[in-house]
Structure 1
Amino acid sequence: MKRSINQVTGSTSATSADANKPVFLSKAQREELALNRRHDPIPDHRLLREQLDRSTPNRSERRRGRDRDGDRDRKRSFRERDREREEEEAKSREKARVEKLLDREKELDAIKEQYLGVKKPKKRVSKPSEKLRFSFDWENTEDTSRDTNALYQNPREAQLLFGRGFLAGTDRRQQKKHYTSVDRHWSDKRLDEMSERDWRIFKEDFNISYKGSKIPPPMRSWEESKLSSELLKAVERAGYNAPRPIQMAAIPLGLQQRDVIGVAETGSGKTHAFVLPMLAYIARLPPMSEENIREGPYAVVLAPTHELAQQIEKETVKFARCLGLRVVLTVGGQSIEEQGLKLAQGCEIVIATPGRLIDCLERRLVVLNQCNYVVLDEADRMIDMGFEPQVACVLDAMPSSNLKPEKEEEELDEKKIYRTTYMFSATMASGVERLARKYLRNPVVVTIGTAGKATDLISQHVIMMKESEKFFRLQKLLDELGDKTAFVFVNTRIKCHSIAKSLDKAGYRVTTSHGGKSQEQREISLEGFRAKRYNVLVATDVVGRGIDIQDVAHVINYDMPKPIEMYTHRIGRTGRAGKSGVATTFLTLNDTDVFYDLKQILVQSNSAVPLELARHEASRFKPGTVPDRPPRHSDTGYIN
C-alpha cells in the first residue's frame, strides 16, 4: 500500500526509530516534492522585493539609468570600432599607393637601364693607412714613465694608516681625485685661485703683452680694479659693463704710480685707462683751497688736436663730477683770457694742446708747481706734428724733486707722491723713445693687439703635401734642429701619442702634453722640455696657449688647426722676448676651410704663399660668401 507525502515526510512527534528507517519514493512523489520546494519560497521573494521597492522608491529609476549608461557605452564602442576600421582602410589605401609608386619607379629604372645601360657603383678603395690604423687607448694611471709618474718625483712615506681606501698609508681616493681633476678656465676661478698659467691665458685671450719689471696682474672686472666706490658707481652709470683690454692692463699700473707706455690704436678705450687712475690719485690729495690754488693743477693731459682734447675733457668731466673735481679745457681757437680766468679760479685737471699750454705758462696764467700726473695722449702724432719741443718744455716746467729713482731695485715710498707719466702711442717712434728715456722712470710697455713688431720676428712657412708625406717631412725638419727645441702641434691626443711613439723609436728625445694628462703630469713634461732633457714636445692645443717657454726655435703645425685663431696662438710660442723663430705648417686638401684666412695672414705678414694655396679656389673667397666682383690686384700674394 502506497503512503502519502505526509506520512513520508513525517512529523516531529514520530519516534526516532521510525525516522531512521529508509523511505523509498516513487518517481511521481519525487517530482511532486521538487515542485513544492520550488513554489514555497516564491512568495517570500516577492514580499522581500516589494518591501525593498517601498523602502527605496528610486531603485527602478537607477536601474533604468544603468540601462541608459550601458546603451551609451555600447554606442561608443561601436563608433570606436568604426573609426578603427576606417583608419585601417586608409592605411591600406596609402600602402597600396606607395606600392604603386614603387612599382612605377622600378618600371622607370628598367626603362633607363634598357636604353642608358647599368651604372655600376664605384668601389671604395681603402687606404693602407686605414687598414693599419693604430689605436692607442690608454689611461693616465697606466703611464709608468719616470717623466710623468709622480711616484718617482715625489715619493711618499708610509704612514700608520690602513683600512678601506688606504694603500700602504696613502689615501688612494684623494690621490685619484688629485690626478684626475680637470683644470678650470680662468673665468670660473676666484682672484686668489688664479695661477701663473691662468694669467698667461687671460692676457692671450685679450691680446695683452707687457714689457717691464714688477708688473701687477691685470684686472678681470671692475670689481677687482681697487677703484673707489664713487668711481665704480660712475662707471656703472656710464654703462661700461666690462673693462677693455687696455683698461685691464693700464689701470692697475696707474694705481701703483707706475710710468706707462701704452701701445694701442685709437678707439681702444685708452681714455678711461688713464682718466680713472688719475682721478683716484687726485682723490687722495688735499682739496683745492686759497692756500694751494695758486700752485696750479694736480694733473695735466696733453693731446695733439682740439677735437681729441675736447673728447678727453667730455669723458673726464663725466667721472670728475662725482668727486667734485674741476676740469679746464685749454686749446687754441678760443679766448685765452677766458681760459686764464678759469685757471685762476682753480682746478684740479687741465686738458690742453701743447701750443696753448706753453702760451699760458709764458703769460703766467698757470704754473705747474704741484702737478705730479701727466698724460701724453697720441704722443707719436704730437711728435709728427712738431710738438716735441713744446712737450719737453711742459715736462720741464714740472717739479723734478718727486721723480722716481732710476734704479729698479729701489722700492717706492708709499707715503710719498711721485710723478706719474702716462704715454699712449700707436707706434714706438724714435721721438717717443727719446721722451721716454728722458722723462719716464722704469716704464712698463703695454701692447694691445697686434701692434708692434712681434709677428715680424716669426718666419712663417706653409707646405702643401699629402697626409702620407707628413711624417717624413717632420723627421727632415727635426734633423735640422741640432741642439735647438721644437713644438709639434697636432689636433688629437691619439695622434699625439702615435707621433711621439714613432719619434721615440727613431731616436728623438720627445715628450707629450695634452688634455688627457693631469695638470701635474703636463707640468713635469714642460719642465723636462725647459731643462732640455727633451728637445721635441708633441702637444695639442691645450698647451697652444698660456705656455711661456723661452728659446723655442721652431713650431711645426703637423695638423692645421680648424679655427684660424689657434694658428696665431700656436706660432706665437716662438719668436718671444725679441728673438726670431720659425713656424712651419703642413697643409693638405682637407684643410680648405681655412685656406682663405691662412692666405690673408701670410699676405699681411709678407710671408710666402705656396703656389697651390694661391691658385686654389677656396683661398680666393671667404667661406660662406659669394663673389660679386673679380679679384683685385691687391688681393694677390707673394708666390714662391
Structure 2
Amino acid sequence: MSQRKLPPDLAALLQQKKAEEALASKPRFIPKKERERLQKEQEEKEEAEREAKEAARLAQKSSKRTERPAEPDGTIPTGPKAMRQTNGERENRNGGRQDRKRGHNDDEERRLKMESKDEADLRARYMGPVVNQSTFSAKKKRRRTAANKFNFDWDADDDTSRPFDPIYAERLEPLVRLGGYEMTDELIQRKADAIRRGDRETGEERARQLLEQHERAKKQSERKNLGKHWSEKSLEEMKERDWRIFKENFGIATKGGAIPDPMRSWQESKLPRRLLDIVASAGYDEPTPIQRAAIPIAMQSRDLIGVAVTGSGKTAAFLLPLLVYISELPPLTEVNKNDGPYALILAPTRELVQQIESEARKFATPLGFTVVSIVGGHSLEEQAFALRNGAEIIVATPGRLVDCLERRLLVFTQCCYIIMDEADRMIDQGFEEPLTKILDAMPVTNEKPDTDDAENAQLMSQYLGGKDRYRQTMMYTATMPPLVEKIAKKYLRRPAIVTIGNAGEAVDTVEQRVEFVAGEDKRKKRLQEILNSGQFKPPIIVFVNIKRNCDMVARDIKGMGFSAVTLHGSKTQEQREAALASLRNGQTDILVATDLAGRGIDVPDVSLVVNFNMAMSIESYTHRIGRTGRAGKSGVAITFLGPEDNDVLYDLRQIISKSSISKVPEELRRHDAAQSKPQRGGGKKADEGFGGGFAGKGQSWN
C-alpha cells in the first residue's frame, strides 16, 4: 500500500521565503577571483551571441548575393557600379567590425571601472578614507624648474663673426699661466692684427693698447714668479713662500735664530770645488733632506742638533762641513801633531765607528787628512802607534776614549770640533758619565758665549787671537730623551735644531708587519715559512733579545738550509768584523743579532728584518727596522709578538698607524694592551744577558 503524500506546510514555505528574501537583501561580498570568473563567463556568452548574430548576418548577405540577377550576356557585373557595391559591402563589414570592437572596448572599460569602484569601496570600508595624499610630481617639478632657470651662457652660433675671424681659425692652447693671464705672445699678436684689419679708424690704437697691456701683465707676472715651481727658479728668485714649500716637500723643520735656507743642490752648498768633485765621484747625486738642511747651518759655524731617522745620510751631513772647517786650520806638523786632533767624532758602537771611519776616509784622504778610529777590541799600543804622526780626525767610542785620556795617550789641546752621533743610543748604553768626562776634557778657552753672538755666523767664524777657532759642537740623534737634552743644554750654545720628518717614527720606505706567534717552536716554524717563501733575497737580519738565543736561532736557520752568522756583545772585535764582512760580500745570507746591530750597521740592500723577539722599547724597534729600506730603497720588517710584549703594543700600534705603507692588523688594533699607554715603572727590565746594550754605567761595549 503506497504512502500518501502530505501537502506542503504553508507556514514553512512562508518562513523559507522570508529567509531567502532576508538573505537576498543582505550585501554579498564576492571575491576578486570569483568576479573575474563570472565576468569571463559573461564575456564568453556575449562573444558567442555576437558570433551567432554575425554568422546569421553573413548567411543572409550571401543568400542575397546569389539571388542578384546577372547581366544580359551572362557575365559578372563589373565597373564603377560593381565597385561601389563592393565598397559598400566592405564598408558595412568594416563598420560592423568597428562596432564590435567599440562594443568590446566599452565592455572592457565598464568592467575596469566596476573593479576600481569595488576596490575603492572595499578600501574605504576596511581602511577608511584616503587622507593627506601627496600630489608631488618630480616630472612636473623638473619641467617647472627648467622653464624658470636662467641660462648664463650664450650660444656660440650667435657670434656671426666667428667663421670670418682668423683668430678662431687655429685656436692655440696657452703655454703658461702668467698671473691668470692665459694668452701666448703669438695669440696676442694675431688678435692685434685682426683688430687692425677689422677697424680701420681706431684699430691701430686698440691693437697698440692690447700689446702694451699684455707686456705689462708679463712683466708683473715675471716679478712675482707666480705659477713657477721652486725647482724652475734661480736661487735669487726664491721667495719665502718657495722656501716654505721646499721644506714641506722634504719634511724639514728648523728651530733657532738666524738659520740659513737649506741647499737645493750640491752646487748651491758653497762647498769647495775640490770637495764637490769628491762628492760626485762618491756617487752622491742628490743631497738627502738632513744634508740639505744641516750642511748650510754647519758651514756658518753654528752648533747644531740634528734629529733624523736612521739611514737618512747623517754621516755625510756632518763630515763635509767638518772637512771644510779643518781645511781652514794650519796643517799638522812636528810642532803641533801631539796636541791632539782638530775634530772628534763619538759613536756608541764599534761597528758605527768603523762605518764612520770608512766614510770619512773616502772624503778626507784625497784632501790629505788622517782619520784614526779608537775602539775596544784592539790593543792600546796599536792605537797609540796609529796616533804617532797625529790625526786631524778621531772617531771613537766613549769608553775606550776615556781609557786613552786617563793613560795620557791622547790630549785635546787643539780640538775645536765635536760631533756626537747617535747621542740617544750612547745615553741608553750608560755612556753619560764617559761622555761628560770627554766633553769636560775639551779646552774652555774657545767656548762660544751663551749669548746672541753664538747665532752670528761672522763672529763665530773669526779666529780667537789669530790662531784658534770657536768650538763647534753638533749632536745627531733619532730621539731626544731628557738626558740628551740635558747634555745639549750644557755643552751646546744657542744650537739650531733641524728635524727631518717626525722624531722617533720609522721611515716610509719600510713596510711594517706584525704577527702574534707565541712560543719559540711556533716562531721558528713561521720563520722557516718566511725564508722558504722566496719573497725576500739575502741579506736578511733576524733580531733577538738575549745573547744565547743568537746561536740557537742561527743553528736552527742553518738546519733550514741557509747560511747564518751571529753578532752580539760577547763576540770579539775580529769576530764582529768577520761576520759583517761575510754578510756584505754575499758569503752569508742571514745575520742573527741583538740590539747591538740595531744602530750603525750599514749593510746595503737588506730586504727583510725579522724581529724574532720584539724589542724592549719602541726606540730600539725603530732602529732595528731601520736596517732595511735605506738609501731610498724599500724593505719589509716582520715582528713576532707574544704575551710578554704587552708593554710596547700601544707604542707599536701608534708607530705603524703613522706609516703610509703599513697597515695595523685587526688583532693588534683590538688588543687590550694597545688601547692605552702603560704606566711607567711596570715595563720590562733588561738583564746582563741582553745584547742590546742596556747594561749599567759600569759596562761598556768597546
Shorter-chain TM-score tier: 0.3 to 0.5
TM-score of the superposed pair, with normalisation by structure 2? 0.43
Larger radius of gyration: 2
